[in-house]
Amino acid sequence: MSRQGGKKKVNFGLPKLTIVETPPAEEAIAPPNLDSVARIRLKDGEEVTVEADELEAVRELGRGAYGVVEQMRHRPTGTNMAVKRITYTFDEAEKRGALMDLSVNMKARSPFTVHFYGAFFRDGDIWICMEVMDTSLDKFYRAAFEHRKGIPEPVLGRIAYNIVAALDYLKSTWNIMHRDVKPSNVLINKQGDVKLCDFGISGQMVDSVAGTNLGCKPYMPPERIQAEIGAKYDVRSDVWSFGITMVELSIGRFPYTATRNVFEQLKQVVQNDPPRLPEGQFSPQYEEFIALCLQKDRDNRPRYPALLETEFLKINKNNDISDFANTVICLMG
């Protein structure tokens, strides 16, 4: 405390404030070979030049941590596309993730993965243009159980074959593991086509915990939860996630007890017996197939070539599921 001019000057001990001016934001620099004009390859093989301004938004298809997906229509050709917009930030890790997403989509050419049309760079975002599918399997199976008492085994068999074929293609052709296999990352249309999507994030994701209003659903295998020292991710970890996905599609709900505590759910995966199909409701071939996928010891799980040779996939791989798919999707409105 000090005196000045006969008055007491009180020092409250407050720190000296320093005002720092925020520099103006830099304009994002486009990734190599991307701008607002692109050559788009249509599904029939025709290539057309498309400007971003020629795309008009139709509806939002979804959004998540990696961006927004909208259905857009290319006015000159009438082509509908699913356009995934990913913010191209200055964060190096996020930048690598965005470019990985783009790179994998550009490479993948399989009837079991979504078709890639092309890509733009617009307003600081990467626009990845893909084919439009009608819905994802998480929404599809809920509608099937609500209106049709579930999904018949022949339909489940064809869905399983397409997913395994997609995962095998990514691994054998491009040495890519998905790392996020779950119902919302598999799409289906009225024609009965079943295709894997969001495989572009495979290069950066380590584990999958899908957040929902009911808590977190762990699709990751026991070995990833336990984080064993030196444990490396391999395709058999995706096989576990695929097995959980198939049980969920088969019984109409996530196979572990719902809880808002994520650690309790993860503990169930590590400590409980692996999920199995209800006895007497499915064929022995399907029960055996699920048991193979959901071996808690990763070394006992088969890789994709072995799964493709199982009796269950062999007898179901050519099933025509278009009538069932069309019926359920139409009921969804």
The CATH number for 183's domain is: 1.10.510.10
Instruction: Answer whether residue 13 is part of any domain.
Output: no
Check whether 296 is labelled as a binding-site residue: no
Mean pLDDT of the chain: 82
The better pLDDT of the pair 28, 137 is held by: 137
**Would residue 320 show up in a list of annotated catalytic residues for this protein?**
no
Q: Do residue 188 and residue 287 come from a single domain?
A: yes
Instruction: Answer whether residue 25 is part of any domain.
Output: no
pLDDT band with cut points at 50, 70 and 90 for residue 91: low
* pLDDT, tens digit, 9 for 90 and up, residues 251-266: 999 999 888 888 888 8
Would you call 135 helix, strand, or coil by DSSP? strand
pLDDT band with cut points at 50, 70 and 90 for residue 321: very high
Domain edge (last residue) among 130, 147, 169: 130
Q: Do residue 123 and residue 186 come from a single domain?
A: no
Instruction: Answer whether residue 57 is part of any domain.
Output: yes
Instruction: Answer whether residue 15 is part of any domain.
Output: no
pLDDT of residue 14: 40
pLDDT of residue 206: 36
Instruction: Answer whether residue 3 is part of any domain.
Output: no
Lowest-confidence segment of 65-74, 147-156, 225-234, 284-293 by average pLDDT:
225-234
124 Cβ neighbours under 8 A, 6+ residues apart: 27, 28, 87, 88
- Distance between CA 203 and CA 196 in Å, rounded? 16
Residue from 127, 132, 71 nearest 101 by CA? 127
CA 182 → CA 32, 210, 247, distances in Å?
32, 9, 11
pLDDT of residue 272: 94
pLDDT band with cut points at 50, 70 and 90 for residue 104: low
- Distance between CA 173 and CA 168 in Å, rounded? 8
pLDDT of residue 203: 41
Residue 77: which CATH number?
3.30.200.20
pLDDT band with cut points at 50, 70 and 90 for residue 98: low
Q: Do residue 279 and residue 322 come from a single domain?
A: yes
Domain that residue 120 falls in: 37-130
pLDDT band with cut points at 50, 70 and 90 for residue 316: very high
Mean pLDDT of 203-232: 59
Domain edge (last residue) among 130, 160, 192: 130
Question: 101, 138, 168, 180: which one is catalytic?
Answer: 180
Lowest-confidence segment of 34-38, 39-43, 230-234 by average pLDDT:
230-234
Q: Do residue 167 and residue 316 come from a single domain?
A: yes
Instruction: Answer whether residue 8 is part of any domain.
Output: no
Residue from 309, 164, 177 nearest 245 by CA? 164
Domain edge (last residue) among 130, 162, 182: 130
Residue 227 confidence (pLDDT) above 90: no
How many domains are there within the chain? Answer: 2
